Amino acid sequence: MKLFKVPEPTIMRLSLYSRVLEQMEERGIPVISSVELGDAVGINSGVVRKDLSMFGEFGVRGVGYNVRELRDNIRRLLGQDRTWPIVVIGAGQLGSALAAYPGFRQRGFDITALVDVDAAKIGTDVQGIPVLSWDEATNMIQEKEIKMAILAVPAEDVQATAQKLVDLGIEAILNFSPVILKLASVQVQNVDLTVFF
């Protein structure tokens, strides 16, 4: 089997397709065309067909795609057909809001704990998700073999916190902190919410 690197924009679009397909299925729509799928995410139908053709044969020419089948295939391609344990670092307002967001669980991400250094927060919970100290989190990350983390800490703590995560075996970080994080050894996605305003 030939392995190839999928361009990041394609992966982002697959995620959008998955959301649209979920909505279509909820509305009871059994088939969708590449034109309809493209319109729903704001791109050309040719891009939809090209993206999907990277992964095999989907749909029937002139008919479209079976919504459930395509959704299931895209979820499998994105790794959303299994549960991924994640830890949120920072139990402030942003970290707590991210941990409580139901969309993560719907997409196969299980927020197992929040981590904080504030003694007043440690031992509490956010909608049933425990807030742990670093010592407790270190054990949990290693025991549960957690490979992904969400970072929501102040700017001055970002680099040291990220390095601590790497040392614990974390392989992917979704960084909501106000600093662009670059680490050669792990996958990092920086999210700047102010860009959208």
Please report, in range form, the residues annotated as the binding site.
90-95
Helices (H), the chain: 8-26, 34-41, 45-53, 67-77, 93-100, 102-106, 134-143, 158-167
Q: Annotated binding residues for NAD(+), as ranges?
A: 90-95
Helix (H, G, I), strand (E, B) or coil at 196: helix
Other CB atoms within 10 Å distance of the CB of residue 134: 16
